[in-house]
Homo-oligomer: A and B are copies of this chain.
């Protein structure tokens, strides 16, 4: 970066500081202020690098992070619950490359998503992009291999050049865990299984309270049509409505009028529809659906009926499956282009009891305080402190009947119809689930083992390295999980301390006396009891001891 660039940066940073000060004065949304500060700190970091005159900054790419051994243990335990659930429902697994031809991804993710795709540099050859989700690669896989029936899961990382908000678990690289059913089936049977899977994963992870919102593209289309939005505006309007969980209606309405070209009349009507649930707190989902179908204005729309019928059947199946807290929410509008039928989203409400978000939050508070100090802001951060941060959506999905067909050759209209592969699926946002479980472990002060070592081979005296190597080799060959010190002459105390730190349950100690007697000393780390074991009995004794641990 040259001097001119540095100056530009400094000017930008100053402007950002001004904006933050204004927001503070106006008592704006604390979350917004936090985001602005984070953005400014990123800029400052860039500038800082320059001042350090080429000093190399050791960091991961923006919006990404490493997982250390403890995080990995938690993450693998969460992934296991998800994988086990998918397998319990008879799913196979597939894997696709991390990048796709750019053409495969183009036009699939709505107006917001499209901007967030990572492109690879053109180094000669094909134009490639990193996958944005696992659904489009799945559809490409089905179309390419002419598969019309499959129930598969896919657990892998996806990439979005979004503004990262680490405290909310929003990263640029994150795991998705997808389960999808492709095939021509009877209405709502595969949908019901997807919802059952959400229910099982969230129950088995013990995340506490959660609910699943349902809606249907046909209902949204009917609502929009009645409110005067043109058919081609559907995606644009959806993408505004989709922001309702983060923004108040007034802001969304503003966007609809100013950017999407709706009139105030349109939006007031639309506002009433999307708030239908809140306006009728005494009605259950079926009654709300009845209310919609009875509405003279809406029921004139031919699409509506299918949507209402689908949701009624689905709610009935959910009842048969014992899934609680599923409800129809007319304000649910997922931002992606490809949904054609039912859509759903599972939400874990912001939760004051959940210590993790306090922990994360306090970290973030300290970062923010620092930031505030750095830019000489005179306000205090008291209004942010202790405020719980919502976890939000942890799983979402829906029906997409035309995505696979969009990859097929449209040779003639009849053939096209035959080639369509109807799909429905669900995707878990594992990073948020991971944060919830991590918080629980911290709250319960549970000890997390990062290795599975059963036996540590230690020496009581010097010059026993070769004996230890031989003993370890023999135990590894027998399938035991074994470690030893890599030092030639480690102190016994250090070896035992290592076992206590790493929660290794057993130690085998060899010394000159033991070698002479043809025994090894077996020590139980927890009880600190020791016994001599004759070498011919060693394997058998170890197996029995480990089985009884």
Contact = CB atoms under 8 A, between A and B. Distances in A.
Contacts of A126: 61-62
B58 A482 contact: no
A480 interface: yes
Contacts of A65: 97
A78 to B, nearest CB: 13
A118 interface: yes
Interface string A166-203: 00000001000000010101100110110010001000
Nearest to A172: B97
A55 interface: yes
A312 to B, nearest CB: 14
A481 B409 CA distance: 38
Interface stretch (A137-145, A205-213, A250-258, A363-371): A137-145
B94 A161 contact: no
A87 interface: yes
A230 interface: no
Interface in A117-139: 118-123, 125-126, 128, 130
A203 B110 CA distance: 51
B92 A72 contact: yes
A181 B486 CA distance: 10
Interface in A302-360: 317, 320-322
Contact of A98 (B98, B128, B150, B183): B98
A100 B409 contact: no
Contacts of A378: none
Contact of A481 (B90, B143, B193): B90
Interface in A95-112: 95-101, 103
A94 B68 contact: yes
Nearest to A449: B92
Contacts of A64: 97, 99
A537 interface: no
Interface residues of A, number: 91
A100 B56 CA distance: 13
Interface in A403-455: 407, 409, 450-453
Contact of A120 (B100, B120, B465, B483): B120
A469 to B, nearest CB: 5
A94 B67 contact: yes
B92 A487 contact: no
Nearest to A171: B97
Given A92-B72, A120-B118, A186-B486, A125 B62 contact: yes
Contact of A92 (B92, B119, B450, B488): B450
A536 interface: no
A296 interface: no
Contacts of A56: 103, 407, 409
Nearest to A72: B93
A481 B88 contact: yes
A149 to B, nearest CB: 10
A196 B192 CA distance: 50
Interface stretch (A270-278, A280-288, A470-478): A470-478
12 contacts: A58-B140, A59-B101, A61-B100, A69-B152, A88-B481, A90-B453, A90-B502, A92-B450, A118-B120, A119-B120, A190-B486, A321-B473
Given A61-B101, A64-B99, A66-B141, 7 more contacts: A56-B409, A61-B128, A66-B145, A68-B145, A98-B130, A121-B122, A192-B469
Interface of A: 55-62, 64-69, 72, 75-76, 87-101, 103, 118-123, 125-126, 128, 130, 140-141, 143-145, 150, 152, 157, 159, 161, 173, 181, 183, 185-186, 189-190, 192-193, 196, 200, 317, 320-322, 407, 409, 450-453, 465-466, 469-470, 472-473, 476-477, 479-483, 486-488, 502
A-B CB proximity, top 4 nearest: A185-B486, A69-B92, A64-B97, A90-B483
